[in-house]
Amino acid sequence: MPVPGSHGVPAAVGVQVDRSPDAEGAAAELGDDRRDFLAKTLGGTGPNPTPTPSVPPTPTTPPPSPGQLACAAGYAVTGQWQDGFRGEVTVRAGSRTISGWTVTWTYADGQTITQSWGATVTGSGANVTAANAAWNGGLAAGAVTSFGFIGSAGATNGSPTLSCQAR
């Protein structure tokens, strides 16, 4: 709370405020800029606070649609042997909570999935679909889960491009 005669500057604990006429005159001689600086330094706002704009700035790019931020998936081969490999897919929720996810991809080199864990994985030829398990579908914004699989390797065992769809 401002102390009378202190020009709106709150008194600090343990600090005496000089209310004599000489002190008042000295404060008046500081000028607006120095008084503002002194007031702000001591925790006040000063006599001329900068106004806050009432209208937020217009974004320079349109916000992405909810589907764009729903989830993303990454693919990694974590082990390889003659004619086979072990893989892992990581699913990350976007900027909002999701209740489930489905990841799809198409193999280009003849790979097939033979076993999986952490997701229900189905395939038809080169096309693969993986849906969350009951325990790892709900993800908070930015949260990550993963699932793994074993597959038979193709000619070069290249990494496919994944698509993630959230619910």
What pLDDT, on a 0 to 100 scale, did the predictor assign at position 21?
Answer: 53
Per-residue pLDDT of 47-92, as tens digits, reads 544 444 444 444 433 444 554 559 999 999 999 999 999 999 999 9
pLDDT of res. 146 = 98
Q: Residue 9: its pLDDT value, please? A: 45
Cα–Cα distances (Å) from 1 to 7, 44, 82, 143, in that order, read 12, 9, 78, 46
Q: Residue 121 forms beta bridges with which residues?
A: 130
* DSSP of 67-78: GGGSEEEEEEEE
Q: What pLDDT digit, counting tens, does each position of 97-143 carry?
A: 999 999 999 999 999 999 999 999 999 889 999 999 999 999 999 99
Indicate the pTM of the whole model. 0.60
The two three-digit tokens of residue 77, written as one number: 């081969």
Neighbours of 73 (CB within 10 A): 21
| 89, 151 contact by CB (below 8 A) | no
Q: Are 102 and 131 in contact, with CB atoms under 8 Å apart?
A: yes
